[in-house]
Structure 1
Amino acid sequence: MQVHNHNNNEDVDILIVGAGLAGLTTSLALHRLGLRSLVLESSESLRITGFALTLWTNAWKALDVVGIGDSLRQKSTQITGFKMALPDTGLFTPGQVLDKDGKFKGYESRCVRRKDLLETLVNELPHDTIRYSSKVTNISELNRFKLVQLADGSILKTKVLIGCDGVNSVVSKWLGLATPVSVGRSAIRGLADFPNGSGFEPLSYLSFGGGTRFGFRPIDDKTVYWFCTFTPSKVPSYEKELQESPRKMKQFVSRLIDKMPREALDVLEKTSLSNISYSTLKIRLPWNVLFGNIAKENVCVAGDALHPMTPDINQGGCSALEDAIVLSRHLGEAFLKKTSGKDDEFDRIGKGLMKYERERRWRSVSLITVAYCVGFIQQSNGKLMSFLRKVWLSNHTSNALLQMAKFDCGDLNFY
């Protein structure tokens, strides 16, 4: 074994891998409790791909807990309902605002720029919290500490290791969680700019059919976020090239949505090539989450490293925020609660992470499953499915969505 020079080694109480939504929110929640953490980010700067995300009631609850809800509300429009276009009409039906029966009362839904969200989190953190260009290459153990080796050879010794490192998480591999699988659908997403105002009502516009699902929602008066997800049968033979060329992505989407409402095409036209991206959709299979290790000893995962899901009920980002609050609450208790008796800090950390695992396991399983089923029905072809969509979907999608958004992650207080 190589002996490393000691200057290269460093001790940290809580080490978070990944400066995405889950990692930064966890770090901020811990900071609110008076606990320091170090966040490692493999890229050179904040990653803001994906452009925007829709945050529901459960997410706003979590953002309020860490004290940044209100400043983000000022940058985003409250969405008040849905408008659906049925595939065969090519029009958004005016009578189809899904909140006609007032279901949205008491719910909060806004589309937020990822950049605004991440920068707001970073600005609240002590300035040396994030270390960029820090790629984790290996995780090992020394007594009960975890040793995290970086690409530059340095080693960090930590009491708690939290993986918020996304779909290809190194930490989840260490925990033995099965690799996420592709669901065979892909997504192209973008941001459209309307310098003179978009004129769209504050609604979520959705149109689907024939294996394609297109939707858009205003972020504010001048910016609209859109997404287009499609099934394998639609994925062109030149998928590799497509992923590298925003111009080709745009042409491809315009072919997919040519029978959809005029508004959909307007939004696409107003999207500059620097504001469009491609991704293949992956999930961690629900039974892997049910039976796998979400936490083990003093290591755990959160966000996409725990429960990658399809975007069909807008809960990917929301549930990452929930994870952050629940995890920080249990870690706060482990580090800060004065206990009498013999249990040491590592025992308390282990117990805290077990509580986190118990609280998040079923929630993660149900979110992954509901999102997948909703997407499957919305995008499948065939007569039976389009019948189901007409009869069942408009009502049940909104029900499923609202059901999942009703969750309360609780506060940071552990007493």
Structure 2
Amino acid sequence: MSEPRAVVIGSGIGGLTAAVALHQSGWQVTVLERAESLEPVGAGIGLAPNAQRALDVIGLGDDIRELAAWQGDGGMRNPAGRRLSRTNSAAVAERFGGPLVLVHRATLIDRIAARLPAGTVRTASPAQLADSGVTGGRPARVNTPDGQMEADLVIGADGINSGVRRTLFPDHPGPAYTGFTTWRVVVPAPDRPFEPHETWGAGALWGTQPLKDGRIYAYAAAVAPAGARAADDEKAELLRRFGAWHEPIPGIIAAAEVGQVLRNDVHHLIDPLPSFHRGRTVLIGDAAHAMAPTLGQGGNQAIEDGIVLAHHAVPAGDLGTGLAAFTAQRLPRTTGIVRRAANIGRLMSLTSAPAVAVRDTLISVVSRLAPGLVLRTFDGIADWRPPHRTYAAGAQDVHDVHHGQQVERQGRPQ
């Protein structure tokens, strides 16, 4: 019996994770990517314990942990540098079974793609869904520059502006603007030591986190009209908005090269889709549940999607039943996370002085009197565990082993 064929549209983190998991479970997989290369547009990505456990299932968890910076103790500050809360990395690891780690997106993409057979990923290959197919009946069809492809399963991993989603659900309103924009940059580490931090101001935030290679990943967000851009350069815009904030923020901005700063408006699918699948076609990642970055879960949830999809889309099983189970498992979970991220985004977006003062006071009081309450924000998210088996033929559920290793090693120096 020949292997069933899956076509993944989009080679982001979710699409590649799904491709690897499906390949390991016995699918013949082709990944179609519009861009000329797999070089991702982005900077750093934080991987919470839930995503690390998902990567364990396809044998990548340890590789990524070795390459990543493990989050140390830090906290939240205000623009003057006053501490609002502390982050205890040991408490995080104890509560959720492992630490948060930070890795460059390019590193993560490279490591996932390396698990696929040569020729699986076809770049410069824009693709459009022509027919979603019918489970138990006709195959799905995808239009490509080289002609039309038929597939037993099509995975729409084509991002927030997903063409696959529009084809499946043409009446859905699509992504909505959150009200704020973001900047990201990777620069050399400053000369003086610094503590990892996230700093919240009036309608704005800044985050500074170390990468394992010695560089710094910095991110910022601010309330802004949709589509607004700096008249000169985004580095200059960061200086205008954050140049008077506490160190090392001004120094990090100064270290960025002109033209290096990435800026993106943030949109989310605050109105959930009615389903994540139709026929033989399924949506994952931002195509299915784009969310604000305020919980750091966008890429993490895409990784989860890929693993759970392979668990349910068993080559010898009933695809219709499998995709229905995928939607039933993933849609409620991701809808809740999208809404949690939106709520935190609204807190960050407060601009009036009285509201900001109340917010900061509450954060400070809760951090001092009930530090565990802050960690509860991630209950039900970071403690997620993948299905016990995502592919047949010798697969093992390894996340329990890695859980023990993570707790043991969470204090390891970089």
Work out the CA distance in 2 between the residues paired with 1:165 and 1:154: 19
Among all aligned residue pairs of Structure 1 and Structure 2, give the percentage whose two residues are the same amino acid.
Answer: 23
Cα 1:198/1:12, change in 2 over 3 Å: farther
SS in 1 for 2:40: coil
Structural mapping, 1:22-33, within 5 Å? 22-33=14-25
Aligned residue in 2 for 1:132 = 123
Does the 8 A contact of 1:98 with 1:398 survive in 2? Answer: no
Query: Quick one: which of 296, 315, 319 aligns to 2:301?
Result: 319
Number of equivalent positions: 376
Shift of 1:296: 1.3
Per-residue displacement from partner, 1:51-93 (whole Å, max 9, x unpaired)?
Answer: 1111101011011111112122222211034321124xx1153
Query: Quick one: which of 76, 91, 99 aligns to 1:102?
Result: 91
Letter in 2 for 1:407: W
Query: Quick one: which of 249, 261, 281 aligns to 2:234?
Result: 249
Shift of 1:350: 0.9
Range 72-81 or range 401-410, more displaced: 401-410
Shift of 1:12: 7.0
Cα 1:17/1:66, change in 2 over 3 Å: same
SS in 2 for 1:224: strand
Unaligned segments of structure 2, at least 5 residues: 368-372, 393-414
Work out the CA distance in 2 between the residues paired with 1:141 and 1:172: 11
Cα 1:58/1:138, change in 2 over 3 Å: closer
Structural mapping, 1:13-412, within 5 Å? 13-87=5-79, 90-91=80-81, 93=83, 96-99=85-88, 102-105=91-94, 106-140=97-131, 144-150=138-144, 152=145, 154-176=147-169, 177-194=172-189, 199-201=193-195, 203=196, 205-220=197-212, 222-232=214-224, 239-240=228-229, 248-273=233-258, 275-285=260-270, 287-289=271-273, 292-332=274-314, 335-337=315-317, 348-393=318-363, 395=367, 398-401=375-378, 403-412=380-389
Work out the CA distance in 2 between the residues paired with 1:23 and 1:153: 21
Shift of 1:288: 2.6
Work out the CA distance in 1 between the residues paired with 2:75 and 2:32: 41
Range 114-123 or range 65-74, more displaced: 65-74
TM-score, normalisation: structure 2 = 0.84
Letter in 1 for 2:8: I
TM-score, normalisation: structure 1 = 0.84
Unaligned segments of structure 1, at least 5 residues: 1-10, 338-347
Work out the CA distance in 2 between the residues paired with 1:241 and 1:385: 27
Aligned residue in 2 for 1:344 = none
Shift of 1:98: 2.6
Over aligned residues, Cα RMSD in angstroms? Answer: 2.5
Work out the CA distance in 2 between the residues paired with 1:241 and 1:260: 19
Letter in 1 for 2:291: M
Cα 1:104/1:259, change in 2 over 3 Å: farther
Does the 8 A contact of 1:85 with 1:261 survive in 2? Answer: no
Work out the CA distance in 2 between the residues paired with 1:271 and 1:189: 10
SS in 2 for 1:404: coil
Cα 1:397/1:353, change in 2 over 3 Å: same
Letter in 2 for 1:328: A
Work out the CA distance in 2 between the residues paired with 1:399 and 1:198: 33
Cα 1:101/1:170, change in 2 over 3 Å: closer
Shift of 1:200: 3.5
Work out the CA distance in 2 between the residues paired with 1:221 and 1:413: 33
Does the 8 A contact of 1:190 with 1:276 survive in 2? Answer: yes
Letter in 1 for 2:331: R
SS in 2 for 1:239: coil
Work out the CA distance in 2 between the residues paired with 1:68 and 1:299: 26
Letter in 1 for 2:88: D
Shift of 1:319: 0.5
Q: Which has the higher contact order (CA 8 A, sep 6+)?
A: 2
Range 405-414 or range 118-127, more displaced: 405-414
Per-residue displacement from partner, 1:346-366 (whole Å, max 9, x unpaired)?
Answer: xx1111000000000111111
Work out the CA distance in 2 between the residues paired with 1:50 and 1:132: 18
Work out the CA distance in 2 between the residues paired with 1:382 and 1:155: 55
Cα 1:320/1:294, change in 2 over 3 Å: same
